[in-house]
Each structure stands twice: as structure tokens, then as C-alpha cells.
Amino acid sequence: MPGNSFGNIFKITTWGESHGKALGVVIDGCPAGLKISEKDIQLELDRRMPGQSKYTTQRKETDKVEILSGLFNGVTTGTPISMLIPNVDAISKSYENFKDIYRPGHADLSYDEKYGIRDYRGGGRSSNRETVGRVAAGAIAKKLLKAMKIKTFGFVQQIGNIKCEKININYIEKNSLRIADKGKFDEMANLIDSVRKSGDSIGGVIEVRSTGMPAGLGSPVFEKLDARLSSAIMGIGGVRGFEIGLGFQVASMKGSEVNDIMVGKSKGKVKFRTNNAGGILGGISNGNDLILRFALKPSSSISQKQDSIDNKGKQKKLQVKGRHDPCLCPRAVPIAEAMVNLVLLDCILENNLSTVKKIT
Ligand SMILES: Cc1cc2nc3c(=O)[nH]c(=O)nc-3n(C[C@H](O)[C@H](O)[C@H](O)COP(=O)(O)O)c2cc1C
């Protein structure tokens, strides 16, 4: 089963299943000399952890990370870094009913079609629990990027049809929905509450921005920065749409409205009047902030009765009981930030090999 590794130089491989003994990640290609502690990693894992509020799953995973290798006296040695996160709150018997029945919207059917065998407990490898490894690796990338003054943050931009109209960065981590507009909290929280009470779920949109971006990240043509970011984000379970800058809005606009006009240079960086391109031109960063958005579907696990079929094709009724996220958005923010940080760091490490000047 290939497809579990991500990145070219800072290469991560995640492993583990939702209800297995543990999950984790191996990072190959982390530069030596970085001071890292389990506390640095834990900070990010805690932001992703289940059970943070009534708007997320009530599963009580502690997600405590253990670093097994790659450090000496708290400093990276350039050897593979291995991190382990045990599973402590898996209730596998809730999934017994679905071992032969395909839950609508889940990967059950396609995994069975491809492999002929699947770990039905909690979705196995298709579960969002797999992303603990990505978030753990992303925490290391974040620390390296911080030293280069690159900062990535995400927020929930939309839940259902309700959109944030203001962006207050300081408010994001102070509210359980991770929205950026305080004025929309009650409306959005009530919407999630009402869908949860009716045994349903709701979708939304997340925006991610990176500031302090250098120009020159990303490569022509198949390794464009936007292509790599979309692969990173679309690889998160439940993502259904991705856009950079103005994204789908450009379809109804004129060139004169969309073009970002360059107005001068300051501290070696080109200044633009606008940032409609989201910081990328020709697949390469232009020094402007990176701006991307993605749409998340409503969780497929809903407690309403649904029709489905079993693995013999026989019609069945099913009801997915258990502890699920009524809206995926709040917990997806740190996962998306981690994926963006992994891409940016990988591009920076590649740039160090891009010209003779940099290696002589
Ligand atoms: C943070 C996060 C939490 C998730 N929690 C749930 C959940 O509780 N229930 C569920 O049905 N899907 C959940 N998902 C979505 C599934 O992981 C995803 O739908 C599944 O892997 C199938 O992949 P696909 O939707 O991309 O086809 C979650 C996704 C994310 C990013």
C-alpha cells in the first residue's frame, strides 16, 4: 500500500490505524542542529486533539507523543526522527455492525474494492487519526520556519452558509470554533448544535495564510507551489475543494481586476497593490503572503438512519452511532497548517540545492 510518504527532502512517512496500538511518523531529511522537545510537538497535537469542545468529537484521546529517535541531548542529529502516539480511547465494538456494511461517504467500499481486506475499526488507515503523524512532523517544520520568520495560521472562514466578515487573528485560538470573526460565533455555534441534535453534520471552509514568505519557493512545472499545496491539502480526509488567492471568483472577473499591480520594492521585496494571486505566480512564490482556502464536507458519520448495502450487494439500513465531529472544520485547522508548513519547508530545503552558488 504505497502513498504513505510526503515531501522530497523533508520526507515524512505516517503509519498506524485508528484503532491499532499506536500511530506515528518517521521524518527523513530533517536538518541537524535544531533544538526540539516533546513539548514543542505536544503543543500542536493538543490543538488537534479530540474532545476540545462540544463542537468536536467527544473521543478522549490524550495524543501524548514520544520521540523515539533522531535527537541527541534534545538536538536533531540529521538521522530519522521517529515519533509515536499511542491510541488510548478506541472503542472498536461500535464498529462491529459495519464490518460487512459500507457506511455512506466513507472509504469502506473503495478500500474493500482495492485491497479486499480492511480494518473496519474506526476507518483504520482512512481515519482522521492518521493525521496525528502529520501534525507531529508539522510541528518540527513550524519551528524551522519560525527561525526564518515564516508564520502560518489558519482559521474557519465559513460554516454552512455563514461566513466570517472580519478577520481578527488574535481571536482564532481563543474560541472553540477557530473562527476569525467574534460577531459570528453564536450563529455558527447554534448551527452546529442544531445539526448535531438532529443527528446530522455540516460542512465549511478553512482559510490558511503564511506571512514572511520569501520569493522563489516552488518549481516549474509539475512541482509548482500551488500544485504541491493542493496535493497536501486535498490529501486531508473530507476535503472537497481547494483554491489559491481569489480562487473560483476569478471565473467571473476581468484581467484588469485580477492582476496584482507591482508598485515598488522595499527591503529587497517587490510590493504589490493587491494580493489576488494569493502569493504565487507561475507556481513560484512572489514574496506576498500565501493565501489558500479549502472546503470540507460535512462528516459522513451521522446518527440518522441511512440506506446502504453490504459487501454482497444486499440492501441494508444503518445508523452510525459513536463519537463523531459534527463539523470537521475546527480540528482541521492545525492539520492544514501542518501540511502547509511541510510543503514550505520542503521547498526551502530544495532551494538550497537549486543553484551552484548555494552549494559551493
Ligand atoms: C479533523 C477531521 C476530523 C474528522 N472526523 C470525522 C468524523 O468524526 N466522522 C466522519 O465521518 N468523518 C470524519 N472526518 C472525515 C473522514 O476522515 C473522511 O471523510 C474519510 O477519511 C473519507 O475520506 P474522503 O471524505 O476524503 O473521501 C474527519 C476529517 C478531519 C479532517
pLDDT tens, residue by residue, 155-168 = 999 999 999 999 99
| Alpha carbon nearest to ligand 1 atom 16, residue | 237
Pick from 325, 327, 329 the residue to mutate for probing ligand 1's pocket: most ligand atoms within 8 Å of its CB.
325
Q: Kindly give the distance from the C-alpha atom of residue 299 to the centroid of ligand 1, in angstroms, as a whole number.
A: 6
Q: 203: left (phi > 0), else alpha (psi -120 to 50), else beta?
A: beta
Residues facing residue 59 across a β-bridge: none
pLDDT tens, residue by residue, 90-128 = 677 777 888 999 999 999 999 999 999 999 988 889 999
Host H or E run for residue 222:
none
CB 323 within 8 A of CB 123: no
Q: Kindly give the distance from the C-alpha atom of residue 48 to the centroid of ligand 1, in angstroms, as a whole number.
A: 13
The closest alpha carbon to 228, from 314, 145, 348, 321, belongs to: 348
Mean pLDDT for the stretch of residues 21-29: 97
Number of domains in the chain: 1
DSSP 8-state secondary structure symbol assigned to residue 30: P
Q: Kindly give the distance from the C-alpha atom of residue 334 to the centroid of ligand 1, in angstroms, as a whole number.
A: 15
* pTM score, whole prediction: 0.96
CA atoms of 268 and 332, how far apart (whole Å): 35
Q: Is 189 in the pocket of ligand 1 (CB under 6 A)?
A: no
Q: Is 18 in the pocket of ligand 1 (CB under 6 A)?
A: no
Q: Kindly give the distance from the C-alpha atom of residue 111 to the centroid of ligand 1, in angstroms, as a whole number.
A: 15
| Alpha carbon nearest to ligand 1 atom 28, residue | 128
Q: Is 56 in the pocket of ligand 1 (CB under 6 A)?
A: no
- Residue 126's domain comprises 5-359
Which CATH number belongs to the domain containing residue 202 in this structure?
Answer: 3.60.150.10
pLDDT tens, residue by residue, 179-214 = 999 999 999 999 999 999 999 999 999 999 999 999
CA atoms of 186 and 70, how far apart (whole Å): 45
For 94-102, which contacts have Cβ atoms below 8 Å and span 24 or more sequence positions? 94/321, 94/322, 95/19, 95/120, 95/121, 95/122, 95/322, 97/318, 98/318, 98/320, 100/310, 100/311, 100/312, 101/308, 101/309, 101/310, 101/311, 101/316, 101/318, 102/308, 102/309, 102/310, 102/311
C-alpha cell at 306: 441511512
Pick from 95, 134, 328, 333 the residue to mutate for probing ligand 1's pocket: most ligand atoms within 8 Å of its CB.
328
Task: State whether residue 130 is helix, strand or coil.
Answer: helix
